Structure 1
């Protein structure tokens, strides 16, 4: 068998109905290439290997899990990428889908990695700590709307799919989990540049209780700061508002 490593944020799925539901959600979007992040003990992997006409790869950093998966599922022999997902290049030359019960200690970093690959990722269905999932899908005006919400939604449509209780895992985490879906936006949000958007959004939410005028005064000239939009706090702006402001930055 294998051991669980807290250092890698490992909470393995054991509830078959949850695994089946993730695969069902995954199949709502057509795909030919699939990457599983952190297969661990293979609870989800065994269902993914049954999918027909799919080029499949699994990314796993843990030596012990790689050996276990290779022995338990011989068909994985040449399909495992033995690295951290955060350190790899896109695993396919053509567009692909991403799925996984993501390690909670790097789940936000995984989302930012997918943002880096936005031209290649057709869909993502992933398990997150519930509060992280809620933050990713949050709309403006919400208390949990923030940097991750805006930057993810600048390039992806986000959808909260379902909650997963603690007893679906081994060991049970101390928090509830949730599965969400990301799909590339059909219409890109006009912006000056990604660099400006990242800078603006991170600066604004560093002092989220302040008005935009006070939080971002170093990014705009005095005349621009007189606009009424700067009377608002950052959570009151939607993604398009932030993107539009990138054209007015110094």
Structure 2
């Protein structure tokens, strides 16, 4: 990240990964992509100085913002003092219980996520997916490419498989560094994640699936016969039509699910 810099009187903090979106063209594109409806219950993570917030708050019946930086809270309270439909939560999004906001209808989640917490935060939200209708995030371009990656590519990995197990993932558009203050050193991208109502490839034990995927990608250069030997042997892989000499990035989501099913059967015997 760039060195901290004053933005509208606020010192952008490196430890919070703060880079404030300031280009109105990209703000409008994000809002158009979200297409907020009056009946929506929106939750914005990391509103910062409210650049996107001010374009959302008048379009929905209920908007919640989750902000970690205590110094920003009074600024947000002052800026949106007339908006009775806005609730500000001073909290760490990594520890925040988003389910509490979805007591009678699913929430829609948006945010310009700090690059240093983006992956753990996505997994935190996926664990609460039953309360979420969809998510729109600005992330480091490389992270979005990993989320949306297909088998056989260098970006494909644990994040790809586990996100796509739970969600339809789409890269919408790129955002250049110059759209932020201070400008980050990397390009950003907008991703849309839509949790499935019915999982395309369900497993009984999702924790086991996660363990298998983590082991497979733990040492990418290892063949499956080596990386997954604690779960399944070569014969078991071959019975599934999977070559033991293949590596993790060559397997599709459905093939990882097939392995998980086989391990579940073996454990039941």
TM-score, length basis structure 1? 0.94
Does the Cα contact within 8 Å between 1:31 and 1:96 map onto a contact in 2?
no
State the shift of 1:31 in Å.
6.0
State the shift of 1:232 in Å.
1.8
Partner of 1:156: 167
Partner of 2:222: 210
Partner of 1:92: 102
**Aligned partners of 1:50 and 1:58: how far apart in 2?**
14
State the shift of 1:165 in Å.
0.4
Does the Cα contact within 8 Å between 2:169 and 2:193 map onto a contact in 1?
yes
Partner of 2:3: none
Aligned pair partner of 1:140 in 140, 151, 165? 151
Query: Counterparts in 2 of 1:1-250, with a 5 A limit?
Result: 1-27=9-35, 32-52=40-60, 54-75=61-82, 79-90=87-98, 91-93=101-103, 94-188=105-199, 189-221=201-233, 223-227=235-239, 228-229=241-242, 230-249=244-263, 250=267
**Aligned partners of 1:34 and 1:225: how far apart in 2?**
44
- What are structure 1's unaligned runs of at least 5 residues? none
Q: How many residues align?
A: 249
**Aligned partners of 1:128 and 1:199: how far apart in 2?**
25
State the shift of 1:193 in Å.
1.0
For 1:28-59, what per-residue CA distance to the aligned partner results, in whole angstroms no more than 9, with x for missing partners? 7896211000000111111011214x311000
State the shift of 1:126 in Å.
0.6
Task: Name the CA shift for 1:144/1:113 in 2 (closer, same or farther; >3 Å).
Answer: same
**Aligned partners of 2:202 and 2:142: how far apart in 1?**
29
State the shift of 1:187 in Å.
3.7
**Aligned partners of 1:205 and 1:170: how far apart in 2?**
36
Deviates more, 1:191-200 or 1:26-35: 26-35
State the shift of 1:184 in Å.
1.8
Task: Name the CA shift for 1:132/1:22 in 2 (closer, same or farther; >3 Å).
Answer: same
- Please provide the CA RMSD for this pair: 1.8
Deviating beyond 4 angstroms after TM superposition, the runs of 4 or more aligned structure 1 residues are 28-31
TM-score, length basis structure 2? 0.88
State the shift of 1:220 in Å.
1.6
Task: Name the CA shift for 1:74/1:29 in 2 (closer, same or farther; >3 Å).
Answer: closer
Task: Name the CA shift for 1:155/1:234 in 2 (closer, same or farther; >3 Å).
Answer: same
Task: Name the CA shift for 1:59/1:176 in 2 (closer, same or farther; >3 Å).
Answer: same
**Aligned partners of 2:214 and 2:42: how far apart in 1?**
32
- What are structure 2's unaligned runs of at least 5 residues? 1-8
State the shift of 1:62 in Å.
0.5
Does the Cα contact within 8 Å between 1:125 and 1:181 map onto a contact in 2?
yes
State the shift of 1:190 in Å.
2.1
